[in-house]
Chains A and B, each alone.
Chain A
Amino acid sequence: EAGVAQSPRYKIIEKRQSVAFWCNPISGHATLYWYQQILGQGPKLLIQFQNNGVVDDSQLPKDRFSAERLKGVDSTLKIQPAKLEDSAVYLCASSLEMASGDQFFGPGTRLTVL
């Protein structure tokens, strides 16, 4: 079974630039999550989708972050404009359904904002 795919793996940008990350969850997984993991901390949820609908985006900084999952499969996360404090690993995870236990994480995108 293929895992969660993410791209790019690494991205370096300057502050105030824009960046987008892509995630392809495990086939058949209805629930998709985007997490931000700052070095030395645990992952922090940014947004959760159930199919193509947003379940929770309460911790998403909506003035600069946006995410979509238009067809209920792939998802993109965008930051515009980026700030220095956005430097982190952005992890995408998926689970079979919202109530299921385990989440499967992708390899993440390491973002460095200079």
Chain B
Amino acid sequence: GQQVMQIPQYQHVQEGEDFTTYCNSSTTLSNIQWYKQRPGGHPVFLIQLVKSGEVKKQKRLTFQFGEAKKNSSLHITATQTTDVGTYFCAGPGDTGRRALTFGSGTRLQVQP
């Protein structure tokens, strides 16, 4: 079945440093979504990318969808303590259903 993998599993940065997490799918995706989950919280939708090679920005966050639509990345510039949490990528399943297959997530810790 479809697999969605993320690296790294964990990243610890100093406040002000940049951070990037990478997402790879075993199958081509029609779209990819990114979610953020704060410690003890629930996933919150950040963005959806649909087009091959698409790049979207949200303030200090830059999201990219690969040309082959099998990989994606999230880059945070100048991290802040409010960026702490786990970032998940997710893509629609390969069985035609719309439900999402989530990656294992990248946990970000920001040292003040």
Q: Which of A18-26, A69-77, A105-113 contacts B (4 or more CB under 8 A)?
A: A105-113
Q: Which residues of B contact A (CB under 8 A)?
A: 4, 31, 33, 41-45, 48, 88, 90, 93, 95, 97-105
Interface residues of A: mostly helix, strand, loop or mixed?
loop
CA distance A44 to B43 in the complex (A): 12
In which size bucket is the chain A interface?
A: 20 to 34
A102 touches B48 (CB 8 A): yes
Contacts of B33 in A (CB 8 A): 101-102
Q: Which residues of A contact B (CB under 8 A)?
A: 31, 33, 40-45, 48, 55-56, 58, 91, 93, 98-99, 101-108
Shortest distance between the CB of A5 and any CB in chain B (Å): 12
Q: In the complex, how many residue pairs between chain A and chain B have their CB atoms under 8 Å apart? A: 54
Interface residues of B: mostly helix, strand, loop or mixed?
loop
Taking a contact as CB atoms closer than 8 A, the residue among A42, A56, A105 that contacts B97 in the complex is A56
A44 touches B102 (CB 8 A): yes
Contacts of B95 in A (CB 8 A): 56, 58
CA distance A108 to B42 in the complex (A): 7
Contacts of B101 in A (CB 8 A): 45
Contacts of B103 in A (CB 8 A): 42
